[in-house]
Amino acid sequence: MSNGNARWRSTAEQIFPRLAAIGVLLLAWWATAASGLFSPNELPSPGAVLDAFAESFVTPDPPRESILQATQASLVRLVVGLSVGIVIGTLIGLAMAASPTVQRSIGSLMAGLQALPSISWLPLAILWFGLSERAILFVVIIATIPAMAIASASSIRLVPPLLVRAGRTLGARSWILQRRVVLPAAVPGYVAGLQSAWALAWRALMAGELISTGGKGLGHLLDANRQVFLVSRIFAVMLMIIIVGMAVEALFGVLDRRVRSKRGLLAAT
């Protein structure tokens, strides 16, 4: 009974601040919209945006696609681009961890690449691949690679030396030591790397879709609605981008908590 009570209280403590923050934001938005300072064509009310959001599922936005089709197109690009970027980035990171020479050479290159916002590759990508699917995917992949390379290399570098020594005294050597001791010990750091990589990929994808006009996707939809001044629809698409982003974030959050709770790395709350 008291246990259930405590759980209910902690759930309430978790949820209340979030609801409160959203509530205050909505209230401020609604008040600003209702004040008449902006025309509804510039700043629609929360209600109007919600209507537009619901509508965009059934009535296609101007470029012939519903918001669901756009979401699907963007998610496919995210999955493909992120996967390719993760594989390449991880391989580079492993090489960096394995060899100090690679770490110094390619490692510094990766650090430099990370300092360059990935969207600045888009002009080049369009020249190389044309206004195509491949140009956008390129930008997403190039956003993911340095983050994954640096994260996987450092997660291996930060493996507690004691665990490696323990593995060696048990008789683990070379490949077995790497595969059975070093890599599993590096997993929490690697998952943290995945979390930041996906967020970078998502930003790069939205920017890429927004700029390379035509085609499908949530980014395109934003721009298409701007061209026909459908402000409430722009807000609706932004709402969708937030929802998808939070859902994917939650997915990686579950993975992260699983990995860390198994290893006793979760702070007791």
Partner 1 sequence: MRAQRSLVAVPDAVPPGTPKLAARGVSKTFRNARGGVVSALGEVDLSIADGEFVCLIGPSGCGKTTLLNLFAGLDRPDTGEILMDGQPVTRPSPQRAVLFQDPALFPWLSVRANVEFALELIGVPKSERADRAMGWLRRVHLGRFANAQPHELSGGMRSRAALARALACQPQVLLADEPFAALDAQTREILQGELQEVWSETRNTFVFVTHNVREAVFLADRVVLMSAPPGTFVAEHRITAPRPREFEDVLLSKVVVDIHDHLLKEVEKVVEREREMA
Q: Which residues bind partner 1 (CB under 8 A)?
A: 162-163, 165-173, 176, 180-181, 184-185, 187, 262-265
Closest CB to partner 1 among residues 167, 219: 167
Cβ at position 183, least distance to partner 1 in Å: 10
Closest CB to partner 1 among residues 9, 258: 258
Cβ at position 189, least distance to partner 1 in Å: 13
Cβ at position 187, least distance to partner 1 in Å: 7
SS3 268: coil
Q: Which residues of 59-78 are buried (b: 16+ CB within 10 A; e: fewer)?
A: ebbebebbbeebbebbbebb
Closest CB to partner 1 among residues 75, 182: 182
Cβ at position 159, least distance to partner 1 in Å: 11
Q: Half-sphere exposure (CA, 13 Å, Cβ side) for 73?
A: 18
Cβ at position 68, least distance to partner 1 in Å: 39
Closest CB to partner 1 among residues 37, 162: 162
Closest CB to partner 1 among residues 6, 266: 266
SS3 65: strand
User: At 61, phi and psi to the nearest 5?
Assistant: -70, 170
**Cα dihedral: 153, 156, 158, 163 (round 10):** -170
Cα separation, 144 vs 139, in Å, equals 9
Closest CB to partner 1 among residues 9, 179: 179
Cβ at position 192, least distance to partner 1 in Å: 15
Question: What residues have CB less than 8 Å from 257, skipping those under 6 apart?
Answer: 266
CB 214 within 8 A of CB 131: yes
Cα separation, 74 vs 236, in Å, equals 16
Cβ at position 193, least distance to partner 1 in Å: 17
User: At 163, phi and psi to the nearest 5?
Assistant: -65, -40
CB 41 within 8 A of CB 233: no
Closest CB to partner 1 among residues 104, 165: 165
